[in-house]
Amino acid sequence: MTVDPRWADSQPALVEAIRDEILRAPQRRITFARFMQRALTEPGLGYYATSDLRPTRMGDFLTAPELHPLFGGCVARFMAADRAARGKDGTYRVREAGAGRGTLRERAGAALDFEFAWTRADLPDRSDPAREPADLVIANEYVDALPVHRVIDDGVLREAWVGWREGWFAEVIAAPSSPLLAAHLEEDGVTLAHGQRAEIGLAASGWMAEAASWLDERGTLLVIDYGHEASELYGPRRMAGSLLTYRGHEVGDDPFIAVGHTDITSHVDVTAIERAAREAGLGLIGSTTQARFLARLGLGRALAEMGRQPGTDAQAYLEARSAVARLLDPRHLGAFRVLAWGRPGPGGELPALPGFSDTP
């Protein structure tokens, strides 16, 4: 008996679990957000629940912390400035939301010279809900992996659900699952063109509210990810949306291939998460690109200092220089958005933090 290659390339138990949910559903379909959630985070089966090698050179993609320790050093300088700005003299509490394997904690922590406590909320979230308020919540390439709904303008707004047809997952176009989808676009101030597809991250906005609740009364929320304002994200240049898949460092656009073995991401709606932050009582400290953020935090100086050290291995320096070039490349990692929010003080003031201005 010939095995369908789509089963062989996927996590069979995960495919069966999602299929069974679809077939039990009243209309035999589930939202794409639900499919994406289970494909990525199903305990013991989902993409992020089965391997620590995903965000590595041997895995499927490479995040900035894995690229080189110099990135962690820049984040450490930001943390030190944030701690000083709040006048913190005790343990600095960091809560990281991440889909990686703890490399940022390892590399930023190694560059700190003060006491800190670092906890993680992984995908899936395995963290202890009983936690102290955080001084800093940091999300590096996390929000893009939160589930999204897929929609299409067909004269009216329609949703692309997930059904089961001819032995595999299939798209089903039907009425939206929630009025929140149309409301999201309306609040963003955008109208889709006829035939345009898009992703709507209701989960990202919900996560922003949750992350704000993790902060202490003067905490900082730092988000680093690839995203755009709504006018660009839903503009005419993105008629097919922004959903992408990653496997073996190759980019694709079919989320129904190698289910459980493939990362699924969507560009972040910056307008929406800024709105969610405001509604959660946070004020914007700064917004910039990753290239500017790292340059202002001394990435170039750190590389030059490494080159001046007599004991620096030539190959190690060349690797560091290559990593810095990738981190600053405006066509790739350098174009990522970096945003920070905080709780305003009694007079509405927010700390001025390095990375968001040319003043050290």
pLDDT tens digits, one per residue of 251-287: 999 999 999 999 999 999 999 999 999 999 999 999 9
Task: Give CA–CA dist 204/201, Å, rounded.
Answer: 5
Please list the residues that pair with 341 across neighbouring strands: 221, 284
pTM of the model: 0.93
pLDDT for res 54: 56
- % of the chain exceeding 70 in pLDDT: 92
pLDDT at 58: 43
pLDDT tens digits, 115-169 = 999 998 766 555 555 578 999 999 999 999 999 999 999 999 999 999 999 999 9
Q: Which fold has domain 5-342?
A: Rossmann fold (3.40.50)
Q: Round to whole Å and give the CA distance between 248 and 32.
A: 23
Q: Which of 46, 58, 25 is nearest to 261 (CA)?
A: 46
Judging by DSSP bridges, how do beta strands 337-342 and 215-225 pair with one another? Answer: antiparallel
- Assess contact for 143 and 223: CB atoms under 8 A: yes
- Name residue, tokens 């679809």: 22
Between CA 37 and CA 43 the distance in angstroms is 11
pLDDT tens-digit readout, 286-332: 999 999 999 999 999 999 999 898 888 899 899 999 999 999 999 88
- Whole-angstrom CA distances from 91 to 223, 254, 285 are 22, 45, 23
Residue 189 — pLDDT band, cuts 50, 70, 90?
very high
CA pair distance 236, 230, nearest whole angstrom: 11
Q: Kindly list the distances between the CA atom of residue 157 and the CA atoms of 179, 196, 210, in Å, as whole numbers in the listed order.
A: 10, 10, 28
Does residue 158 contact residue 151 with C-beta atoms inside 8 Å? yes
SS3 70: helix
Most confident range, picked from 59-68, 216-225, 340-349: 216-225
Mean pLDDT of the chain: 90
**Ranges 119-128, 177-186, 217-226: which has the least confidence:** 119-128
Neighbours of 8 (CB within 10 A): 9
What does the pLDDT average to over 203-216?
A: 94
Is the pLDDT assigned to residue 57 strictly greater than 80? Answer: no
Structure tokens at 311: 């004991």
Q: Which two tokens stand for residue 275?
A: 């709105």
Nearest Cα to Cα of residue 22 among 46, 38, 8: 38
Residue 316 near residue 307 (C-beta atoms within 8 A): no
pLDDT (mean) for 61-87: 90
The answer for residues whose C-beta is within 8 angstroms of residue 172's C-beta and 6 or more apart is 29, 160, 161, 162, 163
Instruction: Kindly list the domain boundaries of the chain, sorted by start residue.
Output: 5-342
pLDDT at 18: 98
What amino acid occupies position 60?
A: D
The answer to whether the beta carbons of residues 31 and 177 sit under 8 Å apart is yes
Tell me, what's the pLDDT at 61? 55
Q: Compute the CA torsion angle 102, 247, 177, 29 (nearest 10 deg).
A: -120
